[in-house]
Amino acid sequence: MVFFNSNNFIAMRISIILLLSVILLSCGTTNKLQTNKSESNFTESQIELIYSDKVTAPMRVLLITDPKDSIILRTNSKHVYVNSNDSTLNYFAQRLYSTVNNPNNPGVGIAAPQVGILKNIIWVQRFDKDKEPFEVYYNPQIDKYSELKQTVLEGCLSIPDIRDSLNMRAYSILLQYDNAKGEHICEMIEDFTAVIFQHEIDHLNGILFIDHLEKEREASGNHDLK
C-alpha cells in the first residue's frame, strides 16, 4: 500500500474504546492458525526467486496491468510455517522488506504475493507505534471489524496510476498472526494502521483495493472506474 492520509476520530474515541472492550473479550477464541508443524515453506522455483539477488535488493513488484502478474495477484496465498531458524524464510522476509523500502518505489505495506510468492506474509508500517517501525506478520487474519468505518486515500504498489478514497475500511480490527519468533499473537489495531492491515491481508486473498472502489461506485450509481 502506498499512500498515507491520517484521519482523526478523536471525538469518537470514548465510544470506540467501549466497542473495543467488547471485541477484546472474544480475543483468543479462534486460535486455529496455531501450528507446530515443521514443513518446507517454499518450492524450488520460489527458492530460486528468493535467492536471485542480495538480501538488500528489492524484488520485482507484480503489476495488475501485466496479464501474468494479474493472475498471481488474484490467487490466494498459503499458510507459512514460522521457524526463526528457517534461513530461506528469513531471507525472503528481508527481501520483502527491502522491496517495500525501495527508495525508488516506497510503500507503507506490502504482501508476499506482490512479489510472486504466494505465502501469507506481510510487512506493515506501524504508524501507531513510536518511530513508526515496519514489522513483519505471518498468517495474519482479521477476526473482527468495527462497525465504525474510516475514509482513507489508498494506492497500491501493484496498481499504477490509481489512487482513491475508500469509505468501507473498518476503523479498528481484531487481528491474529504469528510473529517472527513463531509466537501466536492476538492484537487490536486502529486508525490508519488498521487500513494498511486490511489492504495487505486483502492481497493474501487475491483482493485489491480497486475491487472495493468499484463496489462503492456501483452502490453510488457511478459505474465508471477511471
- Cβ proximity to Zn ion, 62 vs 156, nearer residue: 156
Least Å distance between CB 158 and Zn ion?
5
- Cβ proximity to Zn ion, 1 vs 213, nearer residue: 1
Those residues whose C-beta lies under 8 Å from the C-beta of residue 142, and which sit 6 or more positions away, are 173, 174, 175, 197, 198, 201
Binding to Zn ion (CB under 5 A) within 90-119 occurs at: none
Provide the annotated active-site residues: 200
**Nearest residue by C-beta to Zn ion?**
156
- Cβ proximity to Zn ion, 86 vs 113, nearer residue: 113
CA distance 91 to 203: 21
Grid coordinates of 114? 506482490
Count of residues that interact with Zn ion, criterion CB under 5 A: 2
- Cβ proximity to Zn ion, 1 vs 201, nearer residue: 1
CA dihedral 137, 178, 173, 116 (to 10 degrees): 40
Least Å distance between CB 137 and Zn ion?
15
Closest CA to 172 of 7, 8, 20: 20
The binding track of 142-161 with respect to Zn ion, each residue x by CB under 5 A or -, is --------------x-----
If you ran DSSP here, which 8-state letter would residue 78 be given? Answer: B
Least Å distance between CB 113 and Zn ion?
10
CA atoms within 13 A on the CB side of 26: 12
Least Å distance between CB 129 and Zn ion?
21
The reply on whether position 50 binds Zn ion by CB under 5 A is no
Binding to Zn ion (CB under 5 A) within 152-211 occurs at: 156
Grid coordinates of 71? 493472475
What does each C-alpha distance from 137 to 41, 64, 130, 191 come to in angstroms?
15, 24, 18, 18
Interface residues toward Zn ion, by CB under 5 A: 1, 156
